[in-house]
Amino acid sequence: MGIAFPAPDESILARRDFIIAGLARLLPPGGLVTSEDERRAFETDAFTAYRRVPLAVCLPSTTEQTAAVMRFCYENGVKVVPRGAGTSLAGGAIPQEDAVVIGVSKMNRVLDVNFGDRTIRVEAGITNLGISAAVMDESFFYAPDPSSQLACTIAGNIAMNSGGAHCLKYGVTTNNVLGVKMVTVDGTVVEIGGDALDAPGYDLLGLVVGSEGQLGIVTEATVRILRAAEGARPVLFGFDTSEQAGAAVAAIIGAGIIPVAMEFMDKPAIEICEAFAHAGYPLDVEALLIIEVEGSDAEMDFTLGRIVEIAKRHGVKTVKESKSAMETAAIWKGRKSAFGATGRVADYICMDGTIPTGRLPEVLRRIDEIVKGYGLRVANVFHAGDGNLHPLVLYNVNDPDEAHKAEEAGNDILRLCVEVGGCLTGEHGVGVEKRDLMNVQFDRVDLDQQMRVRGVFDRGWLLNPAKVFPLDHRITA
């Protein structure tokens, strides 16, 4: 497979016993994982094509323990790979043999809820859905909703600046976080932001969100919570061509309507998801839009009326409204389990490029050509309102030649996204997966500037060092 990992530092491996003994003194029983079997559970994340068993895994229960472990690693030159729930699709949490994994999953308490200020303070190992669960009795929720929200942690969401299906209206992680407590590489605990809507000085919070565990480990976060709308209703719109669907999306936005979600599926994706979720997706169309609106029943009727009118002007073939909470749940289950459902029929790699939505028909056609050129198949699901594509390139993991071709096809797709004015990753992050493509999107001076800023936090490249920046050119200042 094509992605290189740095060779393990033999001097660290040789000191493994010393390092483990040192870590054991800093953590409570159960907080340190050393046996090979148990470490193997941490060898990869949701980017399963690559695996590296870490030196040890630390599962601190407090910020102070996290800081002590970080300080120890810093003083001993040991690399650290931060980990939330290990759901990264980009390999952001894949360890390396000479690194210690610090997992935040044991820090998962709600610390404070303030409905008046519409904020909640949590330990960063809480799951994304756990935050919403803590406030749902008052009809509040935490807005960014990555498909992995049942499992993924807010720490991981902050590291990757995660998005979701509903961010057209509500924004992504960076728009919903107000403050973090972060442990820096040398074990210093810093508070960035707080519970107000902005903070003095440079926007360090904006820098930390999406920094992929390279600036520090976030152990606590204050995030915004929102009052849920009175109701929400997804509607299925089936089209004969993806061009029609794309034009309908542009016309809806052009008419001043910002639906809370606009999700696109092509025929292969529709078939896979329908077989899994039985959501009532139409099977006789080439493109499906799931458009969700919010508000009172009358408001939703009104907005949907306008959307249906526009869809009709663009030749919509089927329109199917959710008539019950059960139908709504099934519709979203189908979409949110698209990756999992695809995994039942084939192995796949999931791309995450974003494109200007105006280039959609052209890009879909070229993606099809690229993948067919490698003799493979592709299913497309994506966030149509913001152009964030998720082509799933299907292959057989037991066939090394196919695996290689899938990786190459994926890389070609991302190059295409950049070529048309988009980017490599809209919400999954760079991780190891897209690291070697960073030169496609950025010039040397752009990456050097990012690395200089990174160097302010981690001059020695100890934090998640194999990720984000190509290995062949690294600077610190």
Partner 1 sequence: MTAVSEPTSESELAAAVAEARAARMPLSVEGRGTKATLGRPAQAAATLSTAKLSGITLHEPAELVIGAKSGTPLAEVEAALADKGQMLAFEPLDYRPLLGSSGAPTVGGVVAGNLSGPRRISAGACRDSLIGVRFVNGRGEMIKNGGRVMKNVTGLDLVKLMAGSWGTLGVMSEVIFKVLPVPERTATLVLHGLDDARAVAALSAGLGSPFEVTGAAHLPAGIDRIPTTLMRIEGFAPSITYRSAQLKTLLKPFGSADLLEGASAAEVWRKVRDAAFLVEPRDRAVWRVSVAPSKAAAAVARIRSTLDIRHFYDWGGGLVWIAAPASGDAGSAAIREGLAGTGGYATLMRAPAEIRATVDVFQPLSAPLMTITSGIKASLDPDRLFNPGRMYAGI
Residues 6+ apart with CB under 8 A from 252: 259, 262, 291, 307, 310, 311
Closest CB to partner 1 among residues 126, 208: 208
Residues 6+ apart with CB under 8 A from 463: 79, 80, 82, 185, 213, 214, 215, 216, 457
* SS3 of residue 187 by DSSP: coil
Min CB(419)–partner 1 separation in Å: 13
CA 7 to each of CA 19, 73, 140, 153: distance values in angstroms, whole numbers, following the listed order = 19, 19, 47, 30
CA 11 to each of CA 14, 40, 56, 74: distance values in angstroms, whole numbers, following the listed order = 5, 22, 15, 15
Min CB(276)–partner 1 separation in Å: 25
Closest CB to partner 1 among residues 50, 442: 442
Min CB(187)–partner 1 separation in Å: 11
Min CB(11)–partner 1 separation in Å: 28
- Look up residue 355 and give its two tokens: 């494109």
Q: Tell me which residue has tokens 């902005």.
A: 198
Closest CB to partner 1 among residues 65, 174: 174
Q: Which of 187, 222, 223 is nearest to 60 (CA)?
A: 187
Min CB(205)–partner 1 separation in Å: 8
Closest CB to partner 1 among residues 86, 164: 164
| Strands (DSSP E) found in 302-376 | 318-321, 347-350
Closest CB to partner 1 among residues 38, 446: 446
| Strands (DSSP E) found in 311-466 | 318-321, 347-350, 377-383, 388-395
Residues 6+ apart with CB under 8 A from 400: none
Closest CB to partner 1 among residues 21, 453: 453
